[in-house]
Structure 1
């Protein structure tokens, strides 16, 4: 951080000296200001400073370079993500034409090699996950969602609301988000962290807490300056989402998040506006997967009213938000299934039949009740929850 700060100040100083020379120094001044912007921890703030303090001609050059940089970064994204070792890639796929004859395309996940039935294509950990609120603090790990025995429980040092399966999970959760969101067993009902926790319990809705975890983890990763080219927000901003219309519930959730995070993360209150919050919630509603880690298939779990993609034999104990598997499309005759082979939130995508390189991967978003749902019923449920008419081969041939 000290080196970045030193470099930033050097570039700012050089830029100021260059633009005072007049138009002949504008090009080099813009380059200096652009370099300072690339290492400054809050670039949006520095842009506003530039707008007020440097010549308009220089500011225009800086913004032009920034625009080119953003465009190159956008174009490069799908050439480096997903990582090649995951054996899949994201491609644009045709999805019919509009009434005006315009081609409609969507992004889907395609295998890059052949797989046989039963073979694991790839595994991935979630961006963020949460237990069903009724299970928190009992028999499941707050971080990896694994079922744990009483003797193996690791408790939070400052609250009794959550438990962990290991010191590794406890440390990871504390570092990534729990230190900020921990209630510290406050008796004050107005305590911001407790208020958010109480709301989760009362409504049985975990997505507001998942959004809080995501925001804290995003800030945490930014402070690490790990050198990763794409951050968490880069990953999720490209994902499809459901439109969520604002209601009193969302207004309350936004207020609770601002209270819980506002005093700990500078600028977060301005960041969590209504549009951004509703978009984040819409991304969870469209992309989250139900997570099954229970060792007891007959376990009874109080389900939350929130939707998630789920076709599982074991009970769903929570939900996870995944970078790569969010791109897997639905089919009523899928060629893959999701599995939690380690009984944690680490998801494996497994081939249910032989798959050829170049073939798109599909998974089931809904429970088809052992095949008893008709085409009309399947389409109705998918449209109700995900706003699309299923055009998979099974639906097309039995329409």
Structure 2
């Protein structure tokens, strides 16, 4: 019996509600994605990951040396390298050479989408319609990435390979994406007015890649907008990192105080060296669609959190506050820094990116706060706007 249920809450809509109490730190559920994919630029920058589950395909030493651009670096306590257990299992598709962390992942991908998605010797051919589509996407969506057109490409392969296409379409419809509200002039950020020309270019490239009659239901302007809105409003970010997992393991070791201090100093030094070269781009990153996780609403005071403890795309929802039976389970769509911003700033971000106005307890408590931001937040908003303009200019 599930420890939660999906139900309609009057005045709020669909929600996930606990049917039993959860203590802090308790697992609510684990879920494999309906589909997942590494970000396009992340792959282009050389972040090696399993093509199916996004598990890292490099050792912590390889990871650190690449991120710091320094082949002389060493990593102590290598026996705690998180990739060691599956190093001997790495495999690949013999036709297109994409890599997997295990034979299980290779077979799962083959049975789910790769029989159709495999491009054979064309995987490095820039003129191939799929590669051309990806390049069109990359030119209009620079890092930091929030999605990838390759997620839709994988969905198309899943659809064509599916033995029950009606069931597949029903699963897509369950994400219930709201794309455009023409009266309120609300657009998802990937479909905003500033990007109409770019979206038209992307649509044309998409139609070229999926010109078969079998994809006709997806190659209309409205259907394409629905797909784009679906990945924009329902997708969950995924990040895996050999370095982060190694740090977590060695930091928990019962070392003598002197050794502990040396280890902490080494970790700080490694992060500094990595930061100088790679900056904030430390992880293998991508995105996934989750049938259950996508049903969870946002709150600025969340009682649950999505985690990825297995160094792959399996999401584990954990309670971060005590949850009573009958209470709604909520996560935050904002990061920790964004949660600390004013009500006005939080709601601005949520409205632009997820197309709703938050009415959580924190927002209700701050309802009389002025609709303005601090100097720091004004700077962040202006900087973000400048970046959006820059991206738009770079894409023209």
| Equivalent position of 1:193 in the other structure | 130
Which of 345, 348, 351 is the aligned partner of 2:313? 345
Alignment of 1:250-399 (within 5 A): 250-263=199-212, 266-297=213-244, 315=283, 317-369=285-337, 372-399=340-367
Q: Deviations over 1:198-234 (max 9, x none)?
A: 335544575321112112212322x268xxxx72321
For residues 284 and 27 of structure 2, what CA distance do their matches in structure 1 show? 21
**352-361 vs 174-183, greater mean Cα deviation:** 174-183
Aligned in 2, Cα 1:369/1:147: closer, same or farther, shift over 3 Å? same
Which secondary structure does the structure 1 equivalent of 2:116 belong to?
A: helix
Which secondary structure does the structure 1 equivalent of 2:287 belong to?
A: strand
Q: Say yes or no: does 1:240 pair with 2:177.
A: yes
Which secondary structure does the structure 2 equivalent of 1:190 belong to?
A: coil
Post-superposition, which runs of at least 4 consecutive aligned residues in structure 1 deviate over 4 A? 200-206, 298-304
Q: Is the 8 A contact 2:56 2:284 kept in 1?
A: no
Q: Is the 8 A contact 1:177 1:213 kept in 2?
A: yes
For residues 157 and 212 of structure 1, what CA distance do their matches in structure 2 show? 21
Give the superposition deviation at 1:346. Answer: 0.6
Alignment of 1:1-399 (within 5 A): 85-95=1-11, 105-136=12-43, 138-149=47-58, 151-152=87-88, 153-160=90-97, 162-186=98-122, 188-202=125-139, 203-204=141-142, 206-221=147-162, 223=163, 231-238=167-174, 239-243=176-180, 244=191, 247-263=196-212, 266-297=213-244, 315=283, 317-369=285-337, 372-399=340-367
Which secondary structure does the structure 1 equivalent of 2:133 belong to?
A: helix
| Equivalent position of 1:45 in the other structure | none
RMSD: 2.8
Give the superposition deviation at 1:270. Answer: 4.7
Q: Is the 8 A contact 1:180 1:261 kept in 2?
A: no
| Equivalent position of 2:382 in the other structure | none
Give the superposition deviation at 1:107. Answer: 0.7
Q: Deviations over 1:83-131 (max 9, x none)?
A: xx44221111122xxxxxxxxx411111122211111111111111111
Q: Is the 8 A contact 1:120 1:350 kept in 2?
A: yes
For residues 135 and 116 of structure 2, what CA distance do their matches in structure 1 show? 16
For residues 315 and 331 of structure 1, what CA distance do their matches in structure 2 show? 26
For residues 34 and 196 of structure 2, what CA distance do their matches in structure 1 show? 27
Which secondary structure does the structure 2 equivalent of 1:141 belong to?
A: coil
Q: Which structure has the larger Rg over C-alpha atoms?
A: 1
Q: Is the 8 A contact 2:115 2:161 kept in 1?
A: no
For residues 342 and 117 of structure 1, what CA distance do their matches in structure 2 show? 20
Give the superposition deviation at 1:359. Answer: 1.0
For residues 293 and 168 of structure 1, what CA distance do their matches in structure 2 show? 19
Give the superposition deviation at 1:189. Answer: 3.3
Q: Is the 8 A contact 2:38 2:284 kept in 1?
A: no
Give the superposition deviation at 1:235. Answer: 2.3
Q: Deviations over 1:37-69 (max 9, x none)?
A: xxxxxxxxxxxxxxxxxxxxxxxxxxxxxxxxx
| Equivalent position of 1:65 in the other structure | none
For residues 132 and 279 of structure 2, what CA distance do their matches in structure 1 show? 21
For residues 306 and 155 of structure 2, what CA distance do their matches in structure 1 show? 22
For residues 42 and 2 of structure 2, what CA distance do their matches in structure 1 show? 32
Q: Is the 8 A contact 1:146 1:345 kept in 2?
A: yes
